[in-house]
Amino acid sequence: MLRIVTHIERLLLVHDCVIVPKFGGFVLQAVPAVQQMELHTFHPLRKEIGFNMTLQHNDGLLSESYMQMYAVSYRQAQLMLEEDVEDMKNTLQQYGKLSLGVLGLFCIGEEGQMIFHPSETNLFCVGSYGLPVFYFPVLEPLPVVREEVTLFASPKEKKDTFYIPISRKFIRTAMVSAAAVALFLLVSTPVKDVNQDAYTASFVPTGIAVQQSLFPETVLSDDGIVAEAETKQEAPEDVIAHGVRKVVPAPILEKKAVVSKPVAIQSKMYHIVIASFPLETQADEFIAGVDRNECKHVSKVLRDGKYRIYADKFDNREAAESYMATLRSNPKYKDAWLFISR
């Protein structure tokens, strides 16, 4: 095989046209993908090789290819190219045909003209390289199944049942959450009522505690007398004599007047508290250490589970507040506060 064929094949991989000076040009023409309905085949995109005898000028592609491959000058490359072109012409004139490998075949016609027969190859189409022609049979249409529709449906037929898909993970999560809420409601400790007196006495030094009534409410009548009814009932007797029933009169209710007893109302006492302890021993130790010159009437009182140590107590609020202000001037008793009791 002539060495020029190798150069033409290499250049056609990059260029769509390669001209052989004083011989002709090889041109690539793109052929789109084709489906042959009769044969049920599919042909991929390819490029056909064509030859144009009118292209005789030198475009420099072959000369440059010779220079790169054989490392010669441009002039030497042109001489080598002209020598190969003369060999092609001599071979075609001598044998009447010229084979150029994958490019195709040249032959001489009856009238002496040069005829080119391209080879069927997809080598020069890089985009579809390796894609073969494949056969795909025609698919038969699926048979259509017709359903018979009943015009008169039986009233006893069951209605359509609809199913709603629910994730098992969601159900487990909901059950665990419900169990946790139920357990919280069962185990949670109720909040106890706050003792207003204890709160005021412990944390409000100068406040006035709201004293709740220590006496139960007594409902009196208009005359101040509560009437209690005592029922005296005599056992009824049914006397049957000679077949005749004797009717016994209904029991008589006797009312007994009860006079409510007067209750003595205690007056309020105002204690000037200087300390509080939960244990009596602690309270006694504190009282023992108090200077009697500063607190002459120091003592203790038990209220709300705590022992309140007071410097003095009064039955008058103004006197108690005046004494408390004087006592607070002493740094030891600057936190003294007013405790109200009955």
Residue 46 backbone zone (phi > 0: left; psi -120 to 50: alpha; other: beta): beta
pLDDT (tens digit per residue) in 78-105: 999 999 999 988 988 888 888 888 888 8
Domains located in the chain, CATH noted: 3-135 (no CATH), 269-341 (3.30.70.1070)
Tell me the C-alpha distance between 132 and 330, whole Å.
112
Q: Judge contact between 81 and 21, C-beta under 8 A.
A: yes
Taking alpha carbons only, the member of 308, 324, 311 closest to residue 276 is 308
pLDDT at residue 66, as a whole number: 92
Query: What are the angstrom distances between the C-alpha of 166 and each of 160, 163, 170, 209, 330?
Result: 19, 9, 7, 61, 76
Half-sphere exposure of 50 (CA within 13 A, CB side): 11
Rg (CA), the chain: 63
Per run of 10 residues, the mean pLDDT along the chain (length 342 residues) is 83 89 89 79 80 88 91 92 90 88 88 86 72 77 70 55 73 88 76 49 44 41 40 41 46 48 61 89 89 85 87 88 89 86 73
pLDDT at residue 172, as a whole number: 85
Q: What does pTM read for this prediction? A: 0.38
pLDDT at residue 48, as a whole number: 83
Amino acid at 329: S
pLDDT at residue 80, as a whole number: 92
State the residue for tokens 């009233």: 155
Q: Which residues pair with 228 in a beta bridge?
A: 256
Amino acid at 170: F
Tokens of 317: 């609020």
Q: Judge contact between 101 and 9, C-beta under 8 A.
A: yes
Q: Judge contact between 18 and 57, C-beta under 8 A.
A: no
Tell me the C-alpha distance between 183 and 185, whole Å.
5
244-246/104-108 β-pairing: unpaired
pLDDT at residue 72, as a whole number: 92
Tell me the C-alpha distance between 321 and 301, whole Å.
19
Question: Using CA of residue 65, residue 69, residue 75, residue 76, what is the dihedral sign?
Answer: negative
Q: Judge contact between 251 and 230, C-beta under 8 A.
A: no
Query: What are the angstrom distances between the C-alpha of 230 and each of 234, 258, 292?
Result: 13, 11, 61
Which positions ≥6 away from 336 have C-beta within 8 Å? 205, 272, 273, 274, 311, 324, 327, 328
